[in-house]
Amino acid sequence: MSLVDAVTDRFATDLRAESTREPPADPDTIIEARDLSVYYGETLAIDSVSMRIPERQVTAIIGPSGCGKSTFLRSINRMNDLVQGARVEGELHFKGKNVYDEDVDPVALRRLIGMVFQRPNPFPKSIYDNVAYGLRIQDKDDNLDERVEQALRQAALWDEVNDQLDKNGLDLSGGQQQRLCIARAIATDPEVILMDEPASALDPVATAQIEDLIDDLARDYTVIIVTHNMQQAARISDKTAVFLTGGELVEFGDTSQIFSDPENERVEAYITGRFG
């Protein structure tokens, strides 16, 4: 079966039949939000969210535009600190420690929680330097060649670029750029990888590659992925959180259950496409 056929096949398959993953057997919680609210100025972006995200699984966050799903993601590694006027209430625990405590350094936090963005954003440097950047600033620059190769292999990009590591990262295709960004994020070996709609700017073939990759990454990392593509959430995630307009977390549970038998009516309406 060709890749394109595989993709079409994936999209054609019924949503409810997709979620074949086993529900997790009580894994450890790595991230826990407790009544977390985020404001931009006077606007409430997420409203008193509480949830426990399990370790080494894929958690998808879905919801319509403007529901606060990206804001929630960015509050985990404190990227919202960079937005002027952003304000956080409540707590967000990473491995039992509230990351909004005064003694938490957001830079140190981001070294443990990597991030992949909506649009591929490689630096205008060589492929090698892109992957090595995080390692260099984190002083993990022993065995640099080895670490870069390993990250590129994990990001399923090594075979395509191993003979052109000097090439500028911006000269790669969109899908390759995004895998390069994933390699950059995992090179420093973080514990969690946040992905903010990582495939929304990519074509179906590249999307399928990224999805396969996410599956592999969940063996070593906790992956939290924001997507507005419900099929994608159903295909790749173990847990799904549904945010709806108003920045509210409406339902959170095993992906198979959310897509087959949601408890909340609004969630059901959203998932079946009647709303949102």
Partner 1 sequence: MSQRYIDEEGFAIEGDNLDRKRFYGKIFVGVCFVSAIIGVIALGLLIADVINEAWGWLDWTFLTYPPSQLIENYLPDGRGAGIFPALIGSIILIALTAIFTILLGVGAAIYLEEYAPQSRLTSLIEANIANLAGVPSIVYGLLGLALFVRAFQMGSSLIAGALTLTLLILPIVIVASQEAIRAVPDSRRQAAFGVGATKWEVIRDVVLPSALPGIMTGTILSLSRAIGETAPILMIGAATTMFAPPIRDGPYGTQLPDLFGPFSAMPMQIFDWATLPQEGFQHVAAAGIVVLLTVLLSMNALAIYIRYRYETKT
Which residues contact partner 1 (rule: CB under 8 A)?
77, 79, 82, 84, 107-108, 110-111, 114-117, 119, 121-124, 133-134, 137-138, 168, 170, 181, 184-185, 188
**Closest distance of CB 115 from partner 1, Å:** 4
Residue 40 or 133 having the CB closest to partner 1: 133
DSSP 202-271: S-HHHHHHHHHHHHHHTTTSEEEEE-S-HHHHHHH-SEEEEEETTTEEEEEEEHHHHHHS-SSHHHHHHH
Cβ-based nearer residue to partner 1, 188 or 237: 188
Q: Which is nearer to partner 1, 48 or 173 (CB)?
A: 173
Cβ proximity to partner 1: between 4 and 137 the closer is 137
> Least CB distance from residue 170 to partner 1, whole Å?
6
Task: Show the DSSP H helices in 39-105 as ranges.
Answer: 69-76
The SS3 assignment for 116 reads strand
CB of 124 to partner 1, least distance (A): 5
Q: Which is nearer to partner 1, 30 or 151 (CB)?
A: 151
Cα–Cα distance, 119 to 200 (Å, whole number): 8
CB of 16 to partner 1, least distance (A): 35
Q: Are 21 and 238 in contact (CB under 8 A)?
A: yes
Q: Are 174 and 181 in contact (CB under 8 A)?
A: no
Q: Minimum distance between the CB of residue 232 and partner 1, rounded to whole angstroms?
A: 21
Cα 206 to Cα 196: distance, rounded to the nearest angstrom: 16
Give the three-state DSSP class for 136.
helix
CB contact at 8 A, 107 and 137: no
Residue closer to partner 1, measured from CB, 77 or 255: 77
What residues contact 119, with CB distance under 8 A and at least 6 apart? 201
**Shortest Å, Cβ 128 to partner 1:** 15
- Indicate the Cα dihedral angle 72, 85, 191, 126, nearest 10°: 110
